[in-house]
Amino acid sequence: MAMYDGLFSVFGLKEWCDSNTTTGPMTMAELLAKSAGKADGAEVVTPFLETPFPSLDTLNKSCSAFPRTRDMTAWVEDGFLGIKDGLKYVLDPLTQPLSWALDGSLIFFEAIPWFVLIPALMAITYYTSRSISVMLLVMFSFLFMAFIDHYDRAIQTLSIIFVCTFICVLLGVPIGIAMSKNDRLQRITIPILDMLQTLPTFVYLIPLIFLFSVTESKLYGIAIILYAIVPVVRLTDLGIRLVDKDVIEAADAFGMTSRQKLLGVQIPLALPNIMAGVNQTIMMSLAMVVIASLVSAPGLGVLVLRGIRSLELGVGLVSGFCIVLLAVLLDRATKAALSRLNNTVEQ
């Protein structure tokens, strides 16, 4: 006798349960119980303190008309597979430019000789941060990775970060601006951002694997963008909302239009917050690169994955250290640029 048999009898639902019998393969728990001799018809008395929660599987034991948990997950899978072709038909042309951008960036970075690219990265770092120490950090980091033959993988990772961060900023800043101007849009968008920020990283890949081929660059590109776009959206919205109301009133007094206020007042004053969001987006993109290597993303993540699969401790630790090195130099460069920007705004 199952735990909730009496409950269905009290409410007169026993006939309904018996007339709506569903059959299906036994679960692993049922197979184990049967092999242990617990399914031989002997009644098992469950102590009151061990009463199970009336979950789907528990109720199904008393009333087979109730679906099991595995039935519910099968419905979700069937529903997704039912709309997969339509989604793919719409998303394929929309996301194809992302594949072109990722592949083109990879070819471009790999085509530049190391003795040209490293000085160019140093010059860009110094131009944005005006910090000699950060510039030297970039130089020594890339020379070290080149010395241990990890330069090519590091450049591949850097090219992915470059494209994904650019697209995150290109999409995230306008979304953040729109949220700051519309409270209703903000209330709608915040739960979506919360979901994107808390969803486990592996879960991003599950629907994308069904929609796109693992050989397509946009598969890992979309996963990285969805995971990393949240900070720049949030901080853009926050930065514009934190602009002093007196400054806005002064702009109104000068007769500035909404577009002039946005471009000439709000965005410049919110730029430190926006840059902080860009910094976090870069860090989250770099964190997702390792997970994206599971779906053919090139770069240092491939070496980390190789270390895990083949139990090559040295390969995994050294490549992981190179990822940390990339994260540190990108973080230091963006923070130095942000500090310089803050000083400019204060002056």
Q: What is the pLDDT of residues 144-182, one digit of tens each?
A: 999 999 999 999 999 999 999 999 999 999 999 999 999
Q: Which amino acid, residue 190?
A: I
Higher pLDDT, 25 or 85: 85
Segments forming the whole domain that contains residue 244 = 77-346
Report yes or no on 72 lying in a domain.
Answer: no
Question: Do 43 and 88 have their domain in common?
Answer: no
What stretch of H or E contains 316? Answer: helix 313-346
Reported as a pLDDT band with limits 50, 70 and 90, residue 57 is: confident
Q: What is the predicted pLDDT for the residue at 105?
A: 94
Using CA atoms, how far residue 213 sits from 80, 217, 286, in Å, is: 17, 9, 22
Question: Do 38 and 147 have their domain in common?
Answer: no
Question: Do 47 and 174 have their domain in common?
Answer: no
- Give the separation between CA 202 and CA 204, rounded to whole angstroms: 5
Among candidate residues 67, 89, 105, the one where a domain is terminated? 67
Task: Determine contact, residues 325/239, Cβ cutoff 8 Å.
Answer: no
Among candidate residues 67, 95, 116, the one where a domain is terminated? 67
Task: Determine contact, residues 173/236, Cβ cutoff 8 Å.
Answer: yes
Q: What is the predicted pLDDT for the residue at 199?
A: 87
Question: Do 50 and 114 have their domain in common?
Answer: no
Among candidate residues 44, 67, 90, the one where a domain is terminated? 67
Question: Do 193 and 59 have their domain in common?
Answer: no
Q: Which amino acid, residue 257?
A: T
Question: Do 17 and 61 have their domain in common?
Answer: yes
Q: What is the pLDDT of residues 249-301, one digit of tens each?
A: 888 888 888 888 888 889 888 988 998 899 899 999 988 888 888 888 899 99
Q: Which amino acid, residue 126?
A: Y
Report yes or no on 186 lying in a domain.
Answer: yes
Q: What is the predicted pLDDT for the residue at 272?
A: 87
Question: Do 101 and 33 have their domain in common?
Answer: no
CA atoms within 13 A on the CB side of 17: 18
Using CA atoms, how far residue 52 sits from 35, 58, 67, 72, 227, in Å, is: 22, 7, 17, 20, 37
Question: Do 109 and 58 have their domain in common?
Answer: no
Question: Do 46 and 113 have their domain in common?
Answer: no
Question: Do 221 and 325 have their domain in common?
Answer: yes
Residues 6 or more apart in contact with residue 238 via CB below 8 angstroms: 273
Report yes or no on 45 lying in a domain.
Answer: yes
- Token pair recorded at residue 82: 């039912």
Question: Do 204 and 278 have their domain in common?
Answer: yes
The domain tally of the chain equals: 2
- CATH number of the domain bearing residue 251: 1.10.3720.10
**Mean pLDDT (whole number) for 117-142:** 90
Q: What percent of the chain has pLDDT over 90?
A: 40
